[in-house]
Amino acid sequence: MINFEAYLSDPVIGLGLVSFFLILLSLPITFWNISSQASSPISRFIISLANLVLASQLLLRWWQSGHFPISNLYESLCFLTWGFTLTQLLIERVIPSAFVQAILTPISLLSIAFASFALPEELKVASPLVPALRSSWLVMHVSVIMCSYAALILGSLLSVAVLISSKGKELQLRGSSMGVGDFRERDYKSNLMVQIEELTPVEFSSPEVIDNLSYRTISFGFLLLTFGLISGAVWANEAWGSWWSWDPKETWAFISWLIYAAYLHTRLSRGWQGRRPAFIAIVGLFVILVCYIGVNLLGIGLHSYGWFL
């Protein structure tokens, strides 16, 4: 049963509920508009409002608790939802597609709904940080890691969109990480200038644009994850005297890094495009979810926020 008294008594939880209803309101508008080419400006506006509400919620909790709002799973999920909405808005600036909007919006709704309605009340209350977490590394490491999760998850969902939109089609990109296209479709000639002169502008199809955007989003998330792992190792050495302890969260984060490194390798070195790297990104999506949600809910390791165990 929903405890509405808690939402009214705590403005932080109340703002989380407001953001949930805003994203919920944008969802039917998004799906109603999916038959058109362009994304709904109304839905983008509502998502922007939800992003501002979430930012206000996190700042208020920061002011109330006196530390970066990441002390429990509720705050973590709210921060992740903020990252989802912000990344989605940036993606839609590049490709204002109704189909992309419909693929990305539900994950924000699921994360804030889980935080607002599934978690017990004791996990929504700000708690003091343990001594090891009282460090300036908290803001740098955790914020970067959470933003990397948001970028990698949304980039992987764009790969799902590639699989759906390119079903039954042969996808050959004309511009990508390897620069495939006219140069690969033509016979190589000895004179590079002749090749350049013969190149003609091409129109990218929707699956091609989505796949390229998925690659760029995952690349950005991979860089953030790399920086997050390095900063986490430095912080762990300061806090616990060990650079790496093979904690469950560390292990799954490293597995995630390896999978997305394989994704980038297949694109940069092997020249894979479209559907084949999309399957690798989807595997990475499941591993990221296990790394973030699975480990936290089971309450195992130094990085867990605890719930079941």
CATH code, 85: 1.20.120
* Total domains in the fold of the chain: 2
- Taking the C-alpha atoms of residue 21 and residue 35, their distance in angstroms, rounded to an integer, is 24
Choosing from 108, 129, 150, the residue where a domain stops is 129
Query: Quick one: 31 and 103 in the same domain?
Result: yes
Domain residue limits at 14: 1-129
Query: Quick one: 194 and 277 in the same domain?
Result: yes
Query: Quick one: 54 and 111 in the same domain?
Result: yes
The answer, as to whether pTM is greater than 0.85, is no
Query: Quick one: 21 and 99 in the same domain?
Result: yes
Instruction: Calculate the CA 11 to chain-centre distance.
Output: 26
Query: Quick one: 292 and 193 in the same domain?
Result: yes
Query: Quick one: 12 and 36 in the same domain?
Result: yes
Angle between helices 41-65 and 98-113 (to 10 degrees): 30
Cβ count within 10 A of residue 39: 25
Query: Quick one: 149 and 298 in the same domain?
Result: yes
78: nearest Cα among 168, 143, 153, 156: 143
SS3 label, residue 38: strand
Choosing from 129, 146, 171, the residue where a domain stops is 129
Query: Quick one: 138 and 116 in the same domain?
Result: no
Query: Quick one: 148 and 296 in the same domain?
Result: yes
- Taking the C-alpha atoms of residue 293 and residue 21, their distance in angstroms, rounded to an integer, is 23
What is the residue whose two structure tokens read 């699956």? 207
Instruction: Calculate the CA 31 to chain-centre distance.
Output: 21
Query: Quick one: 96 and 189 in the same domain?
Result: no
Q: What is the pLDDT of residue 167?
A: 66
Query: Quick one: 118 and 171 in the same domain?
Result: no
Choosing from 129, 150, 173, the residue where a domain stops is 129
DSSP-assigned beta bridge partners for residue 97:
38
Cβ count within 10 A of residue 190: 6
- Taking the C-alpha atoms of residue 57 and residue 149, their distance in angstroms, rounded to an integer, is 20
pLDDT tens sequence for the chain (309 residues): 555 555 567 888 999 999 999 999 999 988 888 777 777 889 999 999 999 999 999 999 989 888 888 878 888 899 999 999 999 999 988 888 888 888 899 999 999 999 999 888 877 887 777 666 677 777 888 889 999 999 999 999 999 988 887 665 555 545 444 444 444 444 444 455 555 555 555 556 677 788 888 999 999 999 999 999 998 888 777 766 777 777 777 888 899 999 999 999 988 877 777 778 889 999 999 999 888 887 666 655 555 554 444
Query: Quick one: 197 and 114 in the same domain?
Result: no
